[in-house]
Amino acid sequence: MQLERIGVALRPRTALEAMDLGAVMLRAHARQVWSAWFAFTLPIFIVCQTIAWLTGMPWLGLFLPWWLRPLFDRIPLYVLSRAVFEQTPTWRETLKGQWHWPWARTIAAVTWLRLDTHRSVRLPMELLEGVSAQQRSVRWRVLSRPLGGKASGLTWACLLFELVMFLSICTFTLWLLPGEALPDSMRNLNQAFQLPAFKHAMVWVASFVTYVSMSIIEPLYVASGFALYLNRRTQLEAWDIDLMFRRLRQRLLDTGVATVLLICLSGFAITAHAAESGPAKASSSAQAGIAEAFHQPLDDKDASFSREANFVYLDPRFGTKHEVKHWVLRAMPNKTDEAPPSSPFAFGDWAAGLVNVLMWTLLGVAIVALGIFTARRVRVSRRVVERPERTLSALKTNIVQEAALPDDLAGTARELWRDGHRREALSLLYRGSMQRAAAALHIQVPVDATEADWLRHARALEDPSRRDQLVSIVRTWQLAAYAGRYPGDTEFASLLSGWPVQRVAS
């Protein structure tokens, strides 16, 4: 493995930090991952929908793409496993590279291992290491020992993310639909679901939304699992230390020939000096060098130290891990690091005291202002309670004046239109038409009725001409009130002719 070419910072991380690393890797290579993803999965999705349509079983359009997810996961893993070593493939290279990867484990993943919640971590071990079945089981026991719960949690979290994405897309689509296009009640919705064409259309829409949600979340699921795998390999095999030594070796090799020559010349000089001084002097020089390097003289205690070290190695407590938990304060005061204040009138203490006084002053002002506001509101409410009859009569007068309509509705609206009050003319036309439509339908005019409500009421009219005329008036008022688009004189005149503006015999 060429660790020198790895493009991520190798160090032991927690599980959450490793998942964050996977998200960063996916974001850095998003274009290559999703281009290969759609190039591989979109044709398979279309084939699944075709099979569902030909067999007459729409639920296959939902089930088959979901069941083939382990097959789809090969694409993001291939891109990220190459991108880690700075060899990011294109989408064409990714599709060609699938033929060189083993397919036996993928077949197992889409059959008896389909419901495995550890797939995100198992997938890189099976596809990247290429070990035998016996070695794979032993290898998985080592890798999954601290990662089993993390991998399962990642699976369920991504499943919830997909559910949220699915519901968000469906809700957003319903928000964009006009109110009159929705069914009047759940009874009508149930009747609509009984129609085969409507049922097939809804299942197809659900399949498409599910595919979009899967395309957004599934690469993140694979990237997070791959990052957990890399982190576990780093913990077990000390990749970070290995990489540090490799870089140190390369840095020493890059120093050049001069260092090699200098070492050779130094060796020749030491050899010549040792030949002149004799064996005894050479032995004393070596002992002196060792004592200087380790800052301790050599004596007979080394043998006893070796015996004691071997005895310690035999202790069963050596080399084991013990986890000790105890309660501590989040912010422990460090008295040794605290410097005594220079003086009781330090600038920091003075500023803190000033801010404290200012905050208490603002709190007092806010309380006084709240009291004054409450007193005024209570005073106003008492005045209203003292004169209820006058207030109610005024309200009734306003309601009557607003609801009153002229006898000649068409003439009044035409005069307002001619004088340039187009919005007022359309408002009068809309209000009068709705009141007369309610009278024709023998219903009371709802106080909070909207344009969409009147469009639904218009469906109850048996006469098609009256229904179309009422819909035209409502649509014209909607365009004028919300979009500022007013009709022409000819179109406005056509709205004033006939029912419901003109009183005609029923």
Domain boundaries defined on the chain: 3-244, 348-385, 408-496
Stretch 129-139: mean pLDDT: 77
Closest C-alpha among 473, 491, 483 to residue 426: 473
Cis bond upstream, residue 89 (ω within 30): no
**The pTM is what?**
0.53
Picking from 41, 120, 37, 33, the residue whose alpha carbon sits closest to that of residue 82 is 33
More confident residue, 208 or 249: 208
Amino acid at 416: L
Task: Express each pLDDT in 58-107 by its tens digit.
Answer: 888 899 999 999 999 999 999 998 888 778 899 999 999 998 888 888 89
SS (H, E, C) 192-255: HHCCHHHHHHHHHHHHHHHHHHHHHHHHHHHHHHHHHHHHHHHHHHCHHHHHHHHHHHHHHHCC
Which residues contact residue 69 at a Cβ distance below 8 angstroms, ignoring those fewer than 6 apart?
A: 214, 218
- Which of 119-133, 300-314, 362-376 shows the lowest per-residue confidence on average (mean pLDDT)? 300-314
Distance CA 197, CA 190 (A): 14
Per residue in 163-198, pLDDT (tens digit) is 999 999 888 887 877 766 555 544 455 555 555 666
Residue 388 pLDDT > 50, yes or no? Answer: no
What's the pLDDT score for residue 215? 94
What per-residue confidence (pLDDT) applies to 294? Answer: 35
DSSP 3-16: GGG--S------HH
Q: Which of 233-237, 244-248, 375-379, 468-472 has the lowest mean pLDDT?
A: 244-248
- In the chain, the percentage of residues whose pLDDT exceeds 70 is 67
Angle 218-220-223 from CA coordinates, rounded to 5°: 110
The pLDDT mean for the chain works out to 76
- How far is Cα 169 from Cα 68, in angstroms, rounded to an integer? 23
As a whole number of Å, the CA-based R_g of the chain is 41
d(CA 37, CA 477): 48
